[in-house]
Each structure stands twice: as C-alpha cells, then as structure tokens.
C-alpha cells in the first residue's frame, strides 16, 4: 500500500516517521510532482496539481476538521474525503471557549485591571440565568463545547442543521428555529463548518438579534463573520466584546481594526490545534479499516460540504 503526504505549512518529516511507524509495511513518502500513484493521501492545503496527478486515490485524509479549503479544489471523484474526527481537538476547543466565557462572565479583565492598579474592590456577581450561551454547530466540536459549558451550569443552547438531543443543552435546528435560538442567546459561539450556506452568516442581522451585552466567540472560520458588521455593533454598544481566533486573511494583516480594538481579543488560529500523534493514530486506524473494507467515521458529505 502506498501513502503520499502533501501538507503545506507543515513540518513533514515527523509525519512521515509517525505514519511509517503506525503503518508498517506501507510505503510512505512526501509527494513530489510526477510521483507514482498512491492509494491514500494525507493532506493539508494541497495544490490542485497534486489532486490532478493522483486520480486513483481511495482516501484523502485532511489533517484538520474543516475541509472548506479542500472543497474549493477539483477532487478525484472516487476518493473518500476524510476529516479529523476530534483527535484531541474537542478538549482544546472546550478549554478555549470556556476560558473566554468565564472570563467575560466573572469580569476577570476588570478585576485584573483593578488589582494591577492596587485597587481591592468587588463587583456584584452576575446571574448565570442572564448569561445564556448559544453554540452554532453541534458537531464533534460544538457538542463537546456545549456540554463543557453546561457543566459550569450556564444555560446552553445549540443550533444545527438537523435536530439533536444533547444532555443539558436546549437544541434548535434549521432556518425555522434560528431566530428563536439567537434571541435567547447572549454569548454566541460559532462552530459551524464554512460552506456556501454559512459564509457571512455572522452579519448585522444575526448579530443584532443577540441579547444586549452580547459577546461573540468565533472559533470556526474568518469568512463566517462580516467584519464591518461586528465592528459597528461593538462601537454602537449592542455587543460587549468579541474573541476572534480565525480571520478572512491569516495572519491577520497589520493595521486591521481588530488588532487595536478595545473590545476585541485576537488569537492566532490556535483554539484547537492538530495534535500530530493523535492524528496519525486516527488516520492509520482508518486506513487499515478502509483496506479491510470496513466503514469509517468522519467521511465528508461532498454535497453538504462538511
């Protein structure tokens, strides 16, 4: 069995070494133009030429959960497109989101500013009931985040395309329930995949439906958010703040208003990193299953785009 690795912006040798150890007997090599046809590929942002030269791939394993960049390319029609299925990302995402929700809820920025100025003072504790958190996307990451927030006893609501039942989470589904989801939400967490249907979804119409003092945490993709609409709702005071981990252009260009905005926290697309060892173990397990003719989880539905 031949495995080719084509990952841009990635240190390749440790992936080759790990995949060789996890799949003894497989021929594992970094892709070069003109390389022989492989059975499976491990990819991150591959060039179109790679896909054009590998029309016989059975599996294309993306080393991330989001496949929006891959969906813009011409893919070999017969290949299964497989995304990372958690592989250590959901715990990171839950930590990240809970950290910022709690920071906001407990006014920890204010406390830190006070004590830095030598001031020992208290704020009136906020009510959890007044701090409902809404999670857009109840997939692998969204469900884990929603449940982690529910464990802190925040009122948690979630929105997805199809109906879900998640313990401790009030679930909404589809366009028809979107407004009800939004109007009961104060802190909005975006964990949708980027598809033609969800691009620009965080616009003025949607963000202005949040409760006053609304707070936005975008950890999915930059193109979900209409930057100008967020800025104007922050400046008008309808929104209290935003934490942005993802941007239309990454790295976020110097001079972008998000960098200096007093109500915006910028993090460098780091909320849930790909963990190499976990990812290699998962991909190797799935390749072995495919080779045995067994079904695997995490196969992308090309029509839905995620």
* Residues within the interface to ligand NDP (CB under 6 A): 64-66, 89, 137-142, 159-162, 191-195, 197-198, 219-221, 245-246, 269, 271-272, 306
User: In whole angstroms, how close is the CB of 8 to ligand NDP at the nearest point?
Assistant: 17
User: In whole angstroms, how close is the CB of 35 to ligand NDP at the nearest point?
Assistant: 29
Of 99, 161, 261, 269, which one is the catalytic site residue?
269
The smaller minimum CB distance to ligand NDP, of residues 186 and 221, is found at: 221
User: What token pair was written down for 173?
Assistant: 């589904």
Beta strands 59-62; 80-82: pairing state? parallel
The smaller minimum CB distance to ligand NDP, of residues 50 and 247, is found at: 247
In degrees and rounded to multiples of 5, residue 292 shows phi and psi of -85, 0
User: In whole angstroms, how close is the CB of 226 to ligand NDP at the nearest point?
Assistant: 16
Q: Is 269 a catalytic residue?
A: yes
The smaller minimum CB distance to ligand NDP, of residues 4 and 92, is found at: 92
Beta strands 40-44; 156-160: pairing state? unpaired
Q: Is 256 a catalytic residue?
A: no
Q: Which position's Cβ is nearest ligand NDP?
A: 139
Of 40, 83, 221, 224, which one is the catalytic site residue?
221
- Decide: 167 and 193 in contact? Cβ < 8 Å: no
Nearest 10 degrees: CA dihedral of 134, 139, 142, 145?
A: 130
CA atoms within 13 Å, Cβ hemisphere of 172: 20
User: In whole angstroms, how close is the CB of 95 to ligand NDP at the nearest point?
Assistant: 12
- Decide: 172 and 198 in contact? Cβ < 8 Å: no
Count of beta carbons in the 10 Å neighbourhood of residue 125: 9
Q: Which residues are annotated as catalytic?
A: 221, 269
């Amino acid at each position: 069995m031949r495995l080719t690795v084509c990952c841009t912006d990635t240190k390749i040798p440790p992936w080759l070494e790990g995949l060789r150890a996890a799949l003894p007997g497989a021929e594992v090599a970094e892709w070069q133009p003109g390389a022989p046809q492989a059975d499976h590929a491990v990819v991150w942002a591959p060039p179109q030429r790679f896909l054009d030269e590998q029309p016989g791939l059975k599996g294309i394993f993306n080393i991330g959960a989001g496949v929006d960049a891959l969906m813009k390319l011409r893919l070999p029609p017969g290949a299964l497109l497989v995304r990372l299925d958690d592989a250590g990302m959901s715990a990171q995402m839950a930590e990240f989101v809970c950290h910022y929700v709690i920071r906001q809820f407990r006014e920890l920025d204010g406390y830190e500013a006070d004590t830095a100025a030598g001031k020992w003072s208290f704020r009136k504790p906020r009510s959890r009931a007044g701090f409902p958190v809404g999670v857009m996307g109840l997939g692998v990451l969204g469900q884990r985040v929603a449940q982690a927030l529910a464990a802190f006893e925040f009122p948690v609501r979630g929105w997805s395309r199809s109906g879900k039942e998640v313990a401790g989470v009030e679930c909404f589904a589809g366009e028809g329930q979107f407004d009800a989801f939004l109007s009961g939400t104060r802190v909005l967490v975006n964990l949708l995949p980027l598809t033609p249907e969800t691009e620009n979804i965080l616009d003025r119409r949607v963000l202005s439906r949040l409760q006053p003092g609304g707070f936005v945490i975008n950890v999915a993709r930059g193109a979900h958010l209409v930057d100008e609409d967020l800025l104007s709702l922050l400046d008008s005071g309808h929104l209290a703040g935003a934490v942005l981990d993802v941007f239309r252009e990454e790295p976020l260009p110097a001079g972008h208003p998000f960098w200096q905005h007093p109500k915006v926290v910028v993090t460098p697309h780091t909320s849930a990193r790909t963990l190499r060892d976990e990812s290699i173990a998962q991909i190797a397990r799935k390749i072995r299953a495919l080779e045995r003719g067994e079904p695997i989880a995490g196969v992308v539905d090309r029509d839905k785009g995620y």
